[in-house]
Chain A
Amino acid sequence: MSIQIQQVSKSFGSYQALHSINLTIEDGEFVAILGPSGCGKTTLLRILAGFEQPSSGNVLMDGKVVAGSGTLLPPEKRRIGMVFQSFALWPHMNVSEHVRFPIRTHKSTPSHIKNNEQNRIQEVLNMSGLSHLAERMPHELSGGQKQRVAIARAIAPQPSLLLMDEPLSSLDAMLRMDMRREIQQVHRNTKSAVVYVTHDQGEALAMADRIIVMKDGRIEQAGTPQEIYLRPETEFVARFVSKSNLVKGHWDADMFVPEGGTNIAWPGKQVANYFKSNGLYPVRPDQFHLQPSSQAGILGEIANIQFQGKEFHYDIRSDTKRWEVISPLPFGLNEQVSLSLSSVGGEGV
């Protein structure tokens, strides 16, 4: 299903949650909407689901207006599946009843599924690795199993759009990693479009075909994970997605001369115009190269060290600023170091 969101705004009383959002989602695309809490991402998802009416603007699904001025197609009449943050499993139904419910209830379930209900239930349960749990009640399931049931229920009637509202946020860290893989698998198998709302940039980067970064009800930047991560266009995206340090200095054409540096200039052909016109250079923690202080670069002192196994996370203090740096090289506390731009990832020196 292709979805067009045209000039959609939403306000709750005097609070404006969305400011004329424009967005097109292609058939089969995995789109992640990424932003901190309160950025309007959940409101946007609920508008797509049909639980909220936009204050102005239209939502079109396959060219048909489903929400606009004076019209609202209710959620039960849209061909969508949804996975809720709290799973929203019904405590009085067992696993296979959960899967059966939408197949039987949804009017737009394709007839070949409706007529072979039992086969489809089996198929979906197998796909989600739940076959052996078919008779279990929700309270007899672990967190990850609940999540699988929620996904199985959402995909059972073959919806053409799958909405996911922070589906991994109530799972523990280890399980989250496994579930990412499973969600990718589901996307590959079902070929339906997925809109995935999250505040975790790792999830968005890992799974999405396209990421929409939102802030204060507006789209900050949209693009592929690589574009968003490697070439942020705004300060917010640089900080929120890639945790970049913003180095002050001045631009000379495509070369950047950082403040407080000695005899260095960094190449920055692909750095977005915003930074160039504001005299900034976004540097990701892993992009910094740490050297003994005798080398050229920005000078600083190591203020804190956290060992993470394959690398060290350093807090480095220079005259007025603090930098976050990730480096595999060992340095000691209070040691003097020099920071320069490494050639890792995208931008070469």
Chain B
Amino acid sequence: MEKLKRNMIVLRGQDNGRRSIFSLPGLFRWNRLIALLGAIAILLFFVYPVLKLVLLSFQGEQGLTLSHYNELLQQERFWSTLRNTVYIVIGSTVFSLVIGTALAWVVAYTDIRHKSALHMGIMLCFILPSYVLTLSWSSFTGSQSWLAHVLQWIHPDLAPWSMYSMGGIVFVMGIHHFPLVYMFTLDVLRKIPRDLEWAARAGGASRIEVFRRITLPLALPGLTAGGLLVFLASLDNFGIPAFLGTPVNISVLSTLIYEEIIGFGPSAFARGASLSVLLGAAAVIGSLLQWILLRKSHASDTMQPDLTPRYELGRMRKPLAFAIWAGLALITIIPLSSMISMSLKRAYGLGLTRANMTLDNYRYILFENERVWQAIQNSLVLSLVTMLACLIIGSGFAYIRVRKPNQFNKMAELATAVPYTLPGIVFALSMILVWMEPIPGWNPGIYGTMTILFIAYICRFLILQIRSSVTSFMQLDASMEEAARISGAGFWRKWTAVLLPLLLPGILTGGMLVFLTALTELTVSALLYSSGSQTIGVTIFSFEQAGDTLYSTALSSLIVALIAVGGVILLIAQRWATRKGVKS
């Protein structure tokens, strides 16, 4: 910050010295210097880690070798993990696609009521961190839960289905990811011109035929892209299989890499790296496919979404609304409250009566266990710093990207997307490899401290901010800015009086997204934390591994409260922005 200020002063001083006429060669030199520094930073932070990871997976004692991959392919463990991964990813993707598409169709096309509330309810599953959802479901289906009591009351032999199984993992992953499909498909469906459907009706097609022969084919690119997004998210997910699979020996690629690295065997890093390259390659191929599909359907970008209903539900309206709301409550609210009630119990296994209720678990994690308090502080500081850094760097970059687009910018944006595209565990491993010894023989002491977490979080979440800032800048016509300059506004006045007030709601939404994602992050920090730099996610994970379910549910409930506070702040900010007339 201090340095930035000093630079500004230097810039201004020069400006005055030249009697307020910019010297162009000077300007070009500055631009070139900034571009050069940017290029170096991007190579160092975004490209080098990936290269290093790939290199390590091929590195043997004598030069390049395929021995790590050979070794992998001969292990039974690898094949069973691969099988599990494929089943889980495909299963949860199909599950998400079905629920997501159905809900998207209902919200996009029918005249069901309270659509915006429904929208929020659907998004809730995705906003909750996956380990919170997991804990909710495992406590909801546990042998001591309400569900178990209800089932037992129906028939003594009935017991809830155990979440600690393949099916459980597929289910939780599916309900965590279906909002992704929903969001994608909703937009696509709304952009299909209603005339096309009318034309088909006029041509004699029935409603079902219209859906099969017009709506579905038109929505297919968007649907497939949504499906691929879920595929990527499922490959990336670490929390759900780590919480539900590890206790019963079901591993997937992301948890296997974690176990390899944590296990610290003789060639742990090399084996982890080759597994990571395989997982990363799958993710990159998935992203490429998605990108190609989206480019194909780019034509619909200019289309205005059509928000008015196209199908009247008639008598079905109330029953359908009831079914959807009940379903949503069943998959989120009820398990969540089951988790919260668990965190209020005096001991695991007690029934929920007033006598058994206590706030002791909260008192313990907040005041008696220093590690938890430390973790909360760490997570808050980490996510605040990450948010601020991403706000400044990401918005600055987005501004240049939108106003002066060129090949270099485009490549830079692509590079910054890499850490988020790669599965978190893969990215975390590449961070370890780079920062343990950036130059062979030199250890700057970054690995094993908070610093590596700062670097990793900023690198990984920067693209989130860039995307949302780019959207904000694109919506702001360049003439707004030019009108300010013509009116005599220099750099600061232009930004403070015109650009920032107009862009702030959009940019802050991006910042809030970065903040919440960083606050609840588990995967990257699980691999990068060390004693003293543990995060909230890691602490919940360790409680769960140690069997301290009461503490893990209490901390998770706290996280839910924090997210709710964040959400309310965001809503207030948006309201305030709308009232100022910014949005209209």
Interface size of A by CB at 8 A reads 37
Are A92 and B502 closer than 8 Å at their CB atoms?
A: yes
Q: How far is the CA of A88 from the CA of B488 in the complex (A)?
A: 15
With a cutoff of 8 Å between Cβ atoms, the chain A residues found around residue B580 in the complex are: 92
Contact of A157 among B480, B482, B488, B501 (CB under 8 A): B488
Are A105 and B489 closer than 8 Å at their CB atoms?
A: yes
Decide if A134 is an interface residue (CB 8 Å cutoff). Answer: no
Chain B interface residues toward A at CB < 8 A = 20-25, 477, 479-480, 482-490, 493-494, 497-498, 501-502, 580-582, 584
Are A91 and B581 closer than 8 Å at their CB atoms?
A: yes
- Min Cβ gap B4→A in Å is 21
Instruction: With A71-B21, A71-B23, A76-B490 given, name 9 new contacts (CB 8 A).
Output: A70-B24, A76-B487, A84-B482, A84-B483, A91-B582, A102-B487, A105-B484, A105-B488, A106-B488
Contact of B482 among A88, A108, A153 (CB under 8 A): A88
Are A73 and B20 closer than 8 Å at their CB atoms?
A: yes
16 contacts between A and B (CB under 8 A): A70-B23, A71-B21, A72-B21, A73-B20, A75-B485, A76-B490, A82-B482, A85-B479, A90-B483, A91-B584, A92-B502, A101-B484, A101-B487, A101-B497, A105-B487, A105-B493
With a cutoff of 8 Å between Cβ atoms, the chain A residues found around residue B498 in the complex are: 90
With a cutoff of 8 Å between Cβ atoms, the chain A residues found around residue B483 in the complex are: 82, 84, 88-90, 153
Segment 148-162 of A: residues with Cβ below 8 Å from B: 153-154, 157
Chain A interface residues toward B at CB < 8 A = 49-51, 53, 70-77, 80-82, 84-86, 88-92, 101-102, 105-109, 137-139, 153-154, 157, 163
- Min Cβ gap A109→B in Å is 7
Give the 9 A-B residue pairs with the shortest CB-CB distance, closest first.
A106-B488, A102-B487, A88-B479, A88-B483, A105-B488, A82-B486, A75-B485, A137-B581, A84-B479
With a cutoff of 8 Å between Cβ atoms, the chain B residues found around residue A89 in the complex are: 483
Q: How far is the CA of A72 from the CA of B23 in the complex (A)?
A: 7
Are A73 and B482 closer than 8 Å at their CB atoms?
A: no
A139: nearest chain-B partner, CB-CB: B584
With a cutoff of 8 Å between Cβ atoms, the chain B residues found around residue A157 in the complex are: 487-488
- Min Cβ gap B568→A in Å is 23
A109: nearest chain-B partner, CB-CB: B488
Contact of B486 among A75, A91, A107, A108 (CB under 8 A): A75
Contact of B479 among A76, A86, A137 (CB under 8 A): A86
With a cutoff of 8 Å between Cβ atoms, the chain A residues found around residue B501 in the complex are: 92
A70: nearest chain-B partner, CB-CB: B24
Are B482 and A51 closer than 8 Å at their CB atoms?
A: yes
With a cutoff of 8 Å between Cβ atoms, the chain A residues found around residue B487 in the complex are: 76, 101-102, 105-106, 153, 157
Q: How far is the CA of A139 from the CA of B582 in the complex (A)?
A: 9
With a cutoff of 8 Å between Cβ atoms, the chain A residues found around residue B482 in the complex are: 49, 51, 75, 82, 84, 88
Are A70 and B479 closer than 8 Å at their CB atoms?
A: no
A80: nearest chain-B partner, CB-CB: B486
B488: nearest chain-A partner, CB-CB: A106
B489: nearest chain-A partner, CB-CB: A105
Contact of A102 among B25, B480, B488, B581 (CB under 8 A): B488
Q: How far is the CA of A252 from the CA of B486 in the complex (A)?
A: 55
A66: nearest chain-B partner, CB-CB: B21
Are A107 and B22 closer than 8 Å at their CB atoms?
A: no
Q: How far is the CA of A77 from the CA of B25 in the complex (A)?
A: 19
B487: nearest chain-A partner, CB-CB: A102
With a cutoff of 8 Å between Cβ atoms, the chain A residues found around residue B494 in the complex are: 76
- Min Cβ gap B563→A in Å is 29
**Contact A76/B581 with A88-B480, A101-B497 known, Cβ cut-off 8 Å:** no
With a cutoff of 8 Å between Cβ atoms, the chain B residues found around residue A80 in the complex are: 486
Are B477 and A88 closer than 8 Å at their CB atoms?
A: yes
With a cutoff of 8 Å between Cβ atoms, the chain B residues found around residue A139 in the complex are: 581, 584
